[in-house]
Copies of this chain bind each other. A is one copy, B any other.
Amino acid sequence: MSGTLYGIGVGPGDPELLTLKAARLLGRIAVVAYPAPLQGDSLARSIAAPHLTAVTDEIALRMPFDPEKRADDVYDSGAEAIAVHLAAGRDVAVLCEGDPFFFGSFVYLFARLSERFPVEVVPGVSSVMACAAVLGHPLTARDDALTIIPAPRPEDEIERLLEGSEAAAIMKLGRHLPKVVRVLERLGLTDKAVYIERAGQPGQRMRSLAEAAAEGAPYFAMILVHKRGKAWI
């Protein structure tokens, strides 16, 4: 009997935004894997740390911090290290910031392992919902369409995606913020947009969009847009 691969969403950063199910499973799991920088601590592991009371083996997927570069070799060797435990009948929990199936490194491990081993995914609170909560900015009501847009997309595609729906969350801003601000200005949406960085993480910071555009944004920054502005309903 092989072990089960668990993809466990640990939420957006606040350790209290972990689910009861994640906490229960993490308390009995012996092998954990998680994304981490080349040097230093893993955010996902730090969120889960209070619950990791049964851990005997840890697999850190260490990758250069350039989230726009693919890291296939890291996922290949990480998947093989995980497969050794699964084949030996040991469950493995992959710790995922936010939700495992929403822009998570887990998707890359899932693609490599899900045909060979049983998989269970524990959904988590996503950064989109966490940003909305901190900003006091409802995402959707009525029959709004909401589009999640990664900021590395080309400028014309961001414009087309923003035009198409009532509400949007623009993620992974970093060096792409000036391009996104240009699009918002062209569409007359700057006063319907709010900005936040590292929501619920250490270093959470709210600034005006203008200030962020002038000073620069980290990768974990997000813009939420709603075309009805503050007329939520």
Q: Which residues of A contact B (CB under 8 A)?
A: 7, 9, 11-12, 14-21, 23-24, 99-103, 107-108, 110-111, 114, 119, 121-126, 129-130, 132-133, 136-150, 152-153, 157, 160-161, 164-165, 172, 232-233
Contact = CB atoms under 8 A, between A and B. Distances in A.
By secondary structure, the A interface counts as mixed
Task: For the complex of A and B, list the 10 residue pairs with the smallest distance between their C-beta atoms, beginning with the closest.
Answer: A16-B21, A123-B129, A121-B133, A143-B150, A123-B133, A146-B148, A107-B141, A101-B138, A101-B132, A99-B129
A157 B165 CA distance: 10
A26 to B, nearest CB: 12
A137 B107 contact: no
A157 B24 CA distance: 42
A17 to B, nearest CB: 5
Q: How many copies does the complex hold?
A: 2
Given A101-B132, A103-B141, A233-B111, A19 B16 contact: yes
Nearest to A131: B123
A165 to B, nearest CB: 6
A183 to B, nearest CB: 14
Given A133-B100, A161-B165, A108 B152 contact: no
B122 A101 contact: no
26 contacts: A16-B21, A18-B19, A19-B20, A20-B23, A99-B125, A99-B139, A101-B133, A101-B137, A101-B138, A101-B139, A103-B140, A103-B141, A107-B138, A107-B233, A111-B138, A114-B136, A123-B125, A123-B130, A123-B132, A124-B129, A125-B125, A145-B149, A146-B148, A147-B165, A160-B164, A161-B164
Contact of A124 (B125, B138, B149, B160): B125
A21 B125 CA distance: 12
Contact of A20 (B17, B101, B108, B142): B17
